[in-house]
């Protein structure tokens, strides 16, 4: 009898707590946690508003021209209506984070809906005139009934969580985490208050210092900080078909395996377009560069690989292959000084003769100092052509149509630049 009661209790707990956790946190069922096909990023801030930190944060966002979403506690909205009014006036989105910072696991579903979510939404609406439509549960946990009773809200979780509620993380580590994890479409979880259970009171100060530098870096990477509703609308507009989604996911999985298998090194965490590896040049014909440098079979080169995930994201906003090439040239130009520094100072690249790659997107590379060569005819050229065309089909949302546009311009070429030319152009 006791065993049966224990089993029943465990089953009820599992259905009430664990099932929705698996559904939302692992499979993203019924929640929004990451944008699709967008160069936008949603910065979100929980647990406020806070009279010490929220005004500073709002000043920071205004200085960078950034928009964000604030998931506020209803109890704090009651205490600080002026802050709620300013968040709204500054053009940010206001969402709900319950009336008090309590877990939905330990409340009845009707309490969550009426006394936490709806009560908080009514408070915000009375201040701003606009009722919130997005909701984030404390600690990101829902009970099973929330999936049905909170249908009037879009439940928003996150894809980047740098754990900024801990002071020991500090500004430097927090900045590094954000720069390495933020990608196009990310939903970033941050906190503008440190007075909730488990948080350090001074932690938001470190977050603000790190965020100032992160926002500057995001601008350089072409990432736009937006509200959650803007990211959500952009994601719906660019939604892919099932076959393309499966193909893209499979290709990105192959990309991750390739990077690990061949030990590719990222040049810049903040601009993850280019990865490098040292290898022997295997071409049948020597490459003779304008400055007299020759790369023969067996010579070491730094082989350049473009990150397929970044290509995919850039392709989303490109109206044509020409525009995509323009964006690639711009981003590569930003990386060239760092690439040059690696080849000239890092012992790993001590014996390489230059930078080398094979690409179909080679227009404009000459302005960066590269020399463009035809790929010698043969089986390797045919395989490379097939591979790169398949890559373009995958990474561009309209890849099939792009392959029909001026196919003579989609021939793979060798691009190369000597180490000495890199030094003259980007170091000296």
**Widest distance between CA atoms in the chain:** 88
Residue tagged active-site, from 97, 191, 305, 362: 191
Neighbours of 334 (CB within 10 A): 17
| Of the candidate ranges 43-47, 260-264, 351-355, the one whose mean pLDDT is the lowest | 260-264
CATH code of the domain containing 107: 3.20.20.370
Q: What is the pLDDT of residues 223-264, one digit of tens each?
A: 899 999 888 877 655 555 666 667 777 777 888 888 888 889
Residues 87 and 212 in one domain: yes
Residue tagged active-site, from 46, 50, 192, 268: 46
Q: End of a domain among 180, 214, 237?
A: 237
Q: What is the pLDDT of residues 269-290, one digit of tens each?
A: 777 889 999 999 988 889 999 9
Residues 206 and 262 in one domain: no
Residues 224 and 258 in one domain: no
Instruction: Return the percentage of the chain with pLDDT > 90, whole number.
Output: 52
Residues 58 and 171 in one domain: yes
Half-sphere exposure of 76 (CA within 13 A, CB side): 26
Query: Which pLDDT value is given to residue 204?
Result: 96
Residues 220 and 246 in one domain: no
What's phi and psi for 86, nearest 5 deg? Answer: -70, -40
Q: End of a domain among 169, 204, 237?
A: 237
Residues 184 and 68 in one domain: yes
Mean pLDDT, the chain, whole residue set = 85
Name the more confident of 375 and 320: 375
Q: Can you give the residue range of the structural domain that contains 260?
A: 242-427
Mean pLDDT score, 56-75: 97
Confidence category of residue 403, pLDDT binned at 50, 70, 90: low
Measure the CA–CA gap between 390 and 394, rounded to whole angstroms.
6
| Of the candidate ranges 1-10, 162-171, 297-306, the one whose mean pLDDT is the lowest | 1-10
Helix (H) or strand (E) holding 233: helix 228-237
Query: Which pLDDT value is given to residue 127?
Result: 95
| Of the candidate ranges 222-231, 351-360, 407-416, the one whose mean pLDDT is the lowest | 407-416
Measure the CA–CA gap between 84 and 120, rounded to whole angstroms.
12
Q: What is the pLDDT of residues 367-376, one digit of tens each?
A: 889 999 988 7
Measure the CA–CA gap between 210 and 170, rounded to whole angstroms.
8
Q: What is the pLDDT of residues 181-205, one digit of tens each?
A: 998 889 999 999 999 988 999 999 9
Residues 213 and 270 in one domain: no
Strand, coil or helix: what is 42? strand
User: Is the pLDDT confidence value at 24 over 90?
Assistant: no
Query: Which pLDDT value is given to residue 328?
Result: 79
Residues 220 and 279 in one domain: no
Name the more confident of 65 and 412: 65
Query: Which pLDDT value is given to residue 26?
Result: 80
Number of domains in the chain: 2
Residues 191 and 206 in one domain: yes
Name residues whose C-beta falls within 8 Å of residue 10's C-beta, 6 or more positions apart in sequence: none
Confidence category of residue 114, pLDDT binned at 50, 70, 90: very high
Mean pLDDT score, 406-419: 74
Contact 233, 93 (CB under 8 A): no
Query: Which pLDDT value is given to residue 397?
Result: 54
Helix (H) or strand (E) holding 402: helix 399-402
> What pTM value is reported for the model?
0.63
Query: Which pLDDT value is given to residue 124?
Result: 96
Name residues whose C-beta falls within 8 Å of residue 301's C-beta, 6 or more positions apart in sequence: 278, 279, 280, 281, 295, 352, 353, 354, 355, 356, 416
Q: Select from 136, 130, 123 the least CA-distant residue to 76.
A: 123
Burial of 6 (0-12, 13-18, 19+ CB in 10 A): exposed
Residues 21 and 169 in one domain: yes
Measure the CA–CA gap between 143 and 21, rounded to whole angstroms.
8
Query: Which pLDDT value is given to residue 5?
Result: 67
Strand, coil or helix: what is 224? strand
Residue 351 is among the residues annotated as catalytic for this protein: no
Q: Could you tell me the sign of the dihedral formed by the alpha carbons of 46, 48, 52, 58, in that order?
A: positive
Name the more confident of 68 and 23: 68
| Start-to-end Cα distance in the chain | 82
Residue 191 is among the residues annotated as catalytic for this protein: yes
Q: Select from 222, 169, 226 the least CA-distant residue to 194.
A: 169
Instruction: Return the percentage of the chain with pLDDT > 70, whole number.
Output: 84
Residue spans of beta strands (DSSP E) within 272-363: 274-280, 287-288, 294-295, 300-306, 354-359
Query: Which pLDDT value is given to residue 285?
Result: 86
Q: End of a domain among 220, 237, 254?
A: 237
Strand, coil or helix: what is 72? strand
| Of the candidate ranges 48-52, 387-391, 416-420, the one whose mean pLDDT is the lowest | 387-391
User: Is the pLDDT confidence value at 409 over 60?
Assistant: no
| Of the candidate ranges 20-24, 84-88, 103-107, 350-354, the one whose mean pLDDT is the lowest | 20-24
Confidence category of residue 155, pLDDT binned at 50, 70, 90: very high
Name the more confident of 245 and 90: 90
Residues 173 and 254 in one domain: no
Q: Are strands 69-72 and 40-46 parallel, antiparallel or unpaired?
A: parallel
Residues 299 and 392 in one domain: yes
For 52, the token pair is 């010490």
């Amino acid at each position: 009898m006791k065993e049966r009661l224990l089993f029943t209790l465990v089953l009820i707990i599992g259905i009430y707590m664990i099932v929705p956790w698996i559904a939302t946190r692992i499979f993203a069922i019924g929640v929004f946690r990451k944008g699709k096909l967008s160069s936008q990023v949603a910065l979100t801030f929980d647990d406020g508003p806070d009279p010490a930190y929220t005004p500073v944060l709002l000043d920071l966002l205004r200085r960078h021209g950034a928009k964000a979403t604030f998931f506020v506690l209803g109890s704090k909205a009651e205490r600080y209506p002026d802050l709620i009014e300013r968040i709204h006036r500054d053009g940010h989105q206001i969402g709900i984070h319950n009336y008090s910072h309590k877990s939905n696991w330990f409340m009845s579903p009707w309490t969550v809906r009426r006394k936490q979510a709806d009560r908080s939404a009514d408070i915000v609406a009375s201040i701003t005139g606009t009722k919130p439509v997005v909701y984030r549960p404390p600690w990101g946990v829902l009970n099973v009934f929330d999936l049905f009773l909170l249908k009037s809200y879009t439940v928003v979780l996150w894809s980047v969580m740098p754990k900024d509620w801990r002071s020991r993380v500090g500004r430097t580590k927090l900045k590094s985490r954000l720069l390495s994890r933020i990608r196009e479409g990310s939903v970033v979880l941050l906190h503008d208050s440190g007075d909730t259970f488990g948080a350090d009171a001074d932690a938001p100060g470190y977050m603000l210092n790190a965020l100032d530098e992160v926002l500057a870096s995001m601008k350089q990477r072409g990432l736009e900080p937006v509200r959650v509703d803007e990211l959500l609308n952009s994601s719906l507009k660019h939604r892919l078909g099932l076959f393309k989604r499966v193909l893209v996911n499979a290709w990105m999985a192959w990309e991750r395996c390739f990077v690990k298998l061949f030990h590719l090194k990222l040049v810049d965490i903040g601009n993850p377009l280019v990865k490098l590896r040292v290898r022997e040049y295997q071409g049948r014909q020597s490459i003779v560069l304008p400055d007299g440098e020759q790369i023969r079979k067996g010579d070491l080169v730094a082989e350049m690989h473009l990150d397929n995930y970044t290509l995919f994201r850039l392709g989303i906003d490109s109206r044509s292959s020409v525009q995509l090439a323009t964006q690639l040239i711009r981003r590569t130009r930003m990386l060239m000084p760092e690439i040059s520094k690696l080849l000239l100072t890092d012992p790993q690249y001590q014996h390489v003769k230059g930078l080398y790659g094979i690409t179909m997107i080679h227009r404009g590379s000459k302005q960066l100092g590269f020399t463009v060569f035809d790929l010698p005819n043969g089986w390797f050229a045919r395989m490379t052509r097939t591979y790169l065309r398949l890559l373009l089909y995958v990474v561009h949302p309209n890849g099939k149509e792009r392959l029909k546009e001026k196919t003579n311009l989609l021939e793979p070429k060798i691009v190369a630049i000597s180490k000495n030319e890199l030094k003259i152009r980007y170091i000296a």
